[in-house]
Structure 1
Amino acid sequence: MSAQPAETASGFATEGFDPATATIVAVTYNRSHLLAGLLESIVRMDPKPGHVVVIDNASSDDTTQVVESFRDRLGAELVYRRLQENTGGSGGFSEGMRVAYELGSTWMWLMDDDVEVLPDGLARMGAWAPRFKSIQGRRYDYDGSEFYWQYRVSVPLGIPIPFAPAGFDDAGYRPMNSGCFEGMFIHRDVVRRIGLPDPRFFIYWDDTIYGWLASRVTRSAIVNEFVLKRTREIRQWDMGTRHLNASSNMYRYHIMRNRGIMAHYYRAHGAYRPVYFAIGTAATFVKEIIRLVFVERTVRGTSNLWRGLRDGARIRRDPSFRVMPPLEEAPS
């Protein structure tokens, strides 16, 4: 039986969408104070999801105690998984999506621990569920400003398109061919067809590739609905609508290293163009140099870029590399 039209306390209709079939998947690592803010925001949600899955990347702080303190307050079934080692955001979201899928979730809403969900966020996302199966909502930044996310990628170059329009017309959405695990709202049918996120990325480019894979099997859209707010201030270079955030040596390494993994996914799906992809890799390297100089005011850290570039080339040339398989074969 399909869900009957419902209306939340905020007056936002959820016709054709059953919130109980949705699962929020949150990944955390040693940031229990931020995770507590996210869980507190879920307490305030209307409607609430059926499940909340928290994947703990082997935190050494009081994350376990914080999670347990919310078990009777969330208003949704809480599933807590503490991993034996830090698998990065990529491994955390892969495991979280696996758990959500095995719970029978129809919709999976992925997010980091440094966001809060707006009270009617799930209703706003659910309103688009009848039209799309891979949806990205919008976010407020730490200071309350509108956060711009580059929702289109140039597939031959393998990089985001920086001049993709930031505004929305009366349609209320824009087609996208990328993804961001800070707010990705995805249907189990898509997950079944494209498989789980690849944990080998560890961090960076994992959601870009996953969103691209989703866009190959369904219509994907970013919708003009503010549903999340970032709760962690990040140093950035403000360029108006666009901006560059500060990074870290770990990110710098994986930004370049994971280009090798991306190449395998493009190759497996007939989209790999070596010359164009090399240009995109060079552009990524230059962008990270600009980030170092203008955001972090240093040139230290370039060795991590070179190291990542070297290791990425090795991965790209590895003939034994296999992309993640579908969870189930699509019916003929």
Structure 2
Amino acid sequence: MGAPVHAAVRRGEEVTAAFDPQSATIVVVTYNRSHLLSRLLDSIERMDPKPGRVVIVDNASSDDTTEVVESYRSRLGAELVYRRLDENTGGSGGFSEGVKTAYELGSEWMWLMDDDVEVLPEGLARMGAWAPKFKSIQGRRYDYDGSEFYWQYRVSVPLGIPIPFAPADFDASGYRPMNSGCFEGMFIHRSIVQQIGLPDPRFFIYWDDTIYGWLASLKTRCVIVDEFVLQRTREIKQWDMGIRHFNASSDMYRYYIMRNRGIMKHYYAAHGKYRPAYFAVGTAATFAKELLRLAFVERKVTRKGWTNLWRGLRDGIALGRDKTFRVMPPLEA
């Protein structure tokens, strides 16, 4: 499956001269999906060039994840670092630990991804070609069925929600500025990680990468580039709206998408960007969006779904009022 090719980024010798693939670490977070993790590791084995290191953070899986990881140790073609956590800390905790590990190992670049994707063979070269110009880069991704996935890369900061009508096409530059982030493919330089600190594990799931990408955009010019580098390997029920897809969710996600707005409030306030009235509108819009997701994607509006939304909203308000909450600090050099 091909992708748009930009002349400046396709000549292997120029990529190598400007970017050393060995300076990059792929950070993977996994939980009880060894069958998907093995597909990702297979794709890393096929990569050319390969990263110098692969860090796998296991959120206390109860399946055969440990055995699967060990089976790749001698064949991956890159140093494999395995961190098995004592408890499930969610994607947020996993990426916090993964970035911490990669940073402490001296990685220059960290490429973050979940276990339900595959890396396209030239993925690292395509990302690395932009490394001399930017320090926080998001690549593009094919969906499970091979269609082009649209990711909402712009966020309305006052509302605290993605902008659904941000343009999906690219001009001749091959990139668009963004002020958000997605841990399914974020490619970030250690100097930015040092300045903004680790991903906040208190999110558990949802909004963690949005805030992390926004923090990065305060320190550097973040971009999404017209480079297909990943493909999702897990089918998710969707409402196809043309260029945009509305994915199914879960009751746990519904809770955290509302609860974590309390954490978002603290980050915006810490940087002088919190506007109470606008943020309340964004919270109401988020609540309404989840109701639409229940009705049109999952085609059910259950009492449990409602309860998790209301409970998340209640806990988020309480969390936002917590005067002891402190945002994640920068890292020491």
TM-score norm. by structure 1 comes to 0.96
Q: CA 1:101/1:189 → structure 2, altered by over 3 Å: closer, same or farther?
A: same
AA aligned opposite 2:100: R
Counterpart of 2:6 in structure 1 is none
Q: Distance in 2 between matches of 1:120 and 1:75?
A: 15
Deviation per CA, 1:189-228: give whole Å up to 9, x if none: 0000000000000000000000000000001000000000
Whether the aligned pair in 2 keeps the contact of 1:24 and 1:109 (CA below 8 Å) is yes
Does the alignment pair 1:81 with 2:83?
Answer: yes
Deviation per CA, 1:273-318: give whole Å up to 9, x if none: 0000000000000000000000001111111000000000000000
Q: Distance in 2 between matches of 1:145 and 1:73?
A: 31
Task: Please state whether the residue corresponding to 2:229 is helix, strand or coil.
Answer: strand
Query: CA shift at 1:14, angstroms?
Result: 3.4
Task: Please state whether the residue corresponding to 1:217 is helix, strand or coil.
Answer: coil
Task: Please state whether the residue corresponding to 2:246 is helix, strand or coil.
Answer: strand
Does the alignment pair 1:270 with 2:259?
Answer: no
* Number of residues of Structure 1 aligned to a counterpart in Structure 2: 323
Task: Please state whether the residue corresponding to 1:325 is helix, strand or coil.
Answer: coil
1:236-251 alignment, distance < 5 Å = 236-251=238-253
Does the alignment pair 1:304 with 2:297?
Answer: no
Counterpart of 2:196 in structure 1 is 194
Deviation per CA, 1:215-252: give whole Å up to 9, x if none: 00001000000000000000000000011100000000
Deviation per CA, 1:243-268: give whole Å up to 9, x if none: 11000000000000000000000000
AA aligned opposite 1:233: E
Query: CA shift at 1:112, angstroms?
Result: 0.1
Deviation per CA, 1:138-176: give whole Å up to 9, x if none: 000000000000000000000000000000010000000
AA aligned opposite 2:201: P
Unpaired stretches in structure 1, ≥5 consecutive residues: none
> 1:213 aligned to 215, 221, 229, which one?
215
Counterpart of 1:156 in structure 2 is 158
AA aligned opposite 1:320: T
AA aligned opposite 1:227: V
Q: Distance in 2 between matches of 1:164 and 1:6?
A: 27
Q: Distance in 2 between matches of 1:284 and 1:6?
A: 40
> 1:319 aligned to 299, 315, 323, which one?
323
Query: CA shift at 1:12, angstroms?
Result: 7.9
Counterpart of 1:260 in structure 2 is 262
Counterpart of 1:165 in structure 2 is 167
AA aligned opposite 1:142: Y
AA aligned opposite 2:320: R
1:58-77 alignment, distance < 5 Å = 58-77=60-79
Whether the aligned pair in 2 keeps the contact of 1:253 and 1:307 (CA below 8 Å) is yes
Task: Please state whether the residue corresponding to 1:147 is helix, strand or coil.
Answer: coil
Deviation per CA, 1:2-60: give whole Å up to 9, x if none: xxx9964xx88333100000000000000000000000000000000000000000000
Whether the aligned pair in 2 keeps the contact of 1:12 and 1:120 (CA below 8 Å) is no
Query: CA shift at 1:89, angstroms?
Result: 0.1
Does the alignment pair 1:228 with 2:230?
Answer: yes
> 1:179 aligned to 181, 206, 211, which one?
181
Q: CA 1:73/1:240 → structure 2, altered by over 3 Å: closer, same or farther?
A: same
> 2:138 aligned to 132, 136, 139, which one?
136
Whether the aligned pair in 2 keeps the contact of 1:116 and 1:228 (CA below 8 Å) is yes
Superposed CA RMSD = 1.3
Q: CA 1:170/1:7 → structure 2, altered by over 3 Å: closer, same or farther?
A: closer
> 1:48 aligned to 47, 50, 56, which one?
50
Q: Distance in 2 between matches of 1:129 and 1:292?
A: 40
Q: Distance in 2 between matches of 1:47 and 1:134?
A: 20
Q: Distance in 2 between matches of 1:271 and 1:15?
A: 40
Please identify runs of 4+ aligned residues in structure 1 that moved more than 2 A: 5-8, 11-15
Counterpart of 1:294 in structure 2 is 296
Whether the aligned pair in 1 keeps the contact of 2:10 and 2:126 (CA below 8 Å) is no
Give the share of equivalent positions with the same residue, in percent.
79
AA aligned opposite 1:43: E
Q: Distance in 2 between matches of 1:302 and 1:222?
A: 35
AA aligned opposite 1:114: D
Counterpart of 1:100 in structure 2 is 102
